[in-house]
Amino acid sequence: MYDKCLNFIIFFFESFVWFVRINDIFAATLFIMKTQYNQFKAMLAVSKGSLRAIFRSPSAVVFSIGFPLIFILVFGFLGGEGGGINLKVFLDKQSDTLNPVYGAVKNIPGLKFINKPENEVKEDLEKGRITAILTISKTNNPSAPYNISIKSSEAVSPQNISVLRQIIQSVISGINKNMFPENATIAVISNDIEKIPGRIYRTIDFILPGQLGFSLLSSGVFGVAFLFFNLRQQLVLKRFFATPIKRGYIITGEAISRVLFQLLTAIIIVGIGTLAFKFTLVHGLITFAEILVLSFIALVVFMGFGFIVSGLAKSESTIPPLANIITLPQFLLAGTFFSIEAFPSWLQPLCKILPLTHFNTAMRNIAFEGASLVSCWKEIGVLMIWGIIVYAIAVKTFKWE
């Protein structure tokens, strides 16, 4: 009898304990249901975790920071004032255009004569957009009927001026062999090259913007594609669905981590280029801030390509080929390593369509020429048009499972 009473008391006590526990769980559930879930804090938690994962990934660090820095170091050590590639020239309006020298020079491939108002030409010359202004004038010397003078600026590479002189001199020599006796010449190039003040143009001023674009495009496409494909394959996204966080906040949280990492990359690349190789930042910190804003806009657009690739990829091995279809043409054709004007004229319109081309152009205009974000509205507008198109496709192709 005693044992039965004791067992009953123990059973009653255990039942009471379980009732209290169930009641607490029920009360906690009601409290959670009544309390609004903080989506913003959850998004920041996702960003924090993703950012840690990026820094722990050797491939992400190497592709985003390592490769661009290697290119910057190589080209930076190759020379401080090289890199002017375009041989654009302007013929002064007072020049004689009926002389044989001009007739021969204007047909030389790689030497482009531009036609602009003189005030715009002077501005272009100060900023290094054109190589020189040529003036061809008649003289009273029968042994040298024409004199050619060259006007350039400090923003133009001395190597380009030297190449221009060699081209003109070779043309003069060819004409002399056919038309003039041994001791006479059709024209003489003035030894004194007039130089107007301008910023010194270095190799790094052309290379660094291209390498920053290289880094942003690589991270935006490859980084996002591999990230979301792996999250989907490892059922991480599916586990996220069991939490109260909404889908949009999941995407935003992951995107924030990628943006923060790449902006840090941009700071490192621009900082090393400026301190070690005198990369030009015309307005100092203002120019630097505008570069970061431009990088942010471009990165958001490039990440859209990554979402498309992650949605189309059937396996992890198919990601690199799909990503290379997007990135490789832009690396080669968008002015990353050399000017797009080095390509044939029939290929240049295609180059000018690519989004990376417009980032590189805007970046160089802001950094070296002192342009503002507002004055680069055409390039930014094209980037945003690409963004609308890319994300419209990404919405259709992106998969959660």
- What is the model's pLDDT at position 363? 92
Q: Is residue 278 a contact partner of residue 204, using CB atoms and an 8 Å limit?
A: yes
Grade residue 337 by pLDDT with cuts at 50, 70 and 90. confident
- What is the model's pLDDT at position 83? 40
Q: pLDDT tens, 246-262?
A: 767 777 777 788 788 88
Rounded to whole angstroms, the Cα distance separating 335 from 209 reads 9
**What's CA 164's distance to the chain center, in Å?**
30
Rounded to whole angstroms, the Cα distance separating 13 from 316 reads 57
Residue 51: its H or E element: helix 39-55
Place of tokens 């490769």: 67
- What is the model's pLDDT at position 171? 79
Instruction: Give the mean model confidence (pLDDT) for residues 300-322.
Output: 86
In the DSSP assignment, the letter for residue 315 is S
- What is the model's pLDDT at position 182? 62
Lowest pLDDT segment from 135-139, 190-194, 326-330: 190-194
Place of tokens 């607490």: 24
Q: Is residue 56 a contact partner of residue 261, using CB atoms and an 8 Å limit?
A: no
Which has the closest alpha carbon to 335: 318, 347, 321?
A: 347
- What is the model's pLDDT at position 16? 43
- Alpha helices in 180-243, H assignment, sequence order: 203-218, 224-233, 236-240
pTM confidence score: 0.65
Q: What tokens were used for 150?
A: 């060259």
Instruction: Give the mean model confidence (pLDDT) for residues 326-339.
Output: 83
- What is the model's pLDDT at position 39? 65
Residue 356 has pLDDT above 90, yes or no: yes
Q: pLDDT tens, 270-304?
A: 888 888 888 888 888 999 999 999 999 999 999 98
Residue 78 has pLDDT above 50, yes or no: no
Rounded to whole angstroms, the Cα distance separating 341 from 339 reads 5
Residue 246: its H or E element: none
Instruction: Give the mean model confidence (pLDDT) for residues 17-24.
Output: 44
Q: What tokens were used for 350?
A: 């295609």
CATH of domain 87-196: 3.40.190
- What is the model's pLDDT at position 193? 66
Instruction: Give the mean model confidence (pLDDT) for residues 261-271.
Output: 87
- What is the model's pLDDT at position 199? 63
Residue 174 has pLDDT above 70, yes or no: yes
Q: pLDDT tens, 90-138?
A: 888 888 777 787 777 777 777 788 888 877 777 777 777 788 888 888 8
Other beta carbons less than 10 A from residue 166's beta carbon:
10
Grade residue 15 by pLDDT with cuts at 50, 70 and 90. low
**Whole-number average pLDDT of the chain:** 75
| Domain range list for the chain | 39-79+202-397, 87-196
Structure-derived torsion over alpha carbons of residues 361, 363, 368, 369, reported in degrees to the nearest 10 = 60
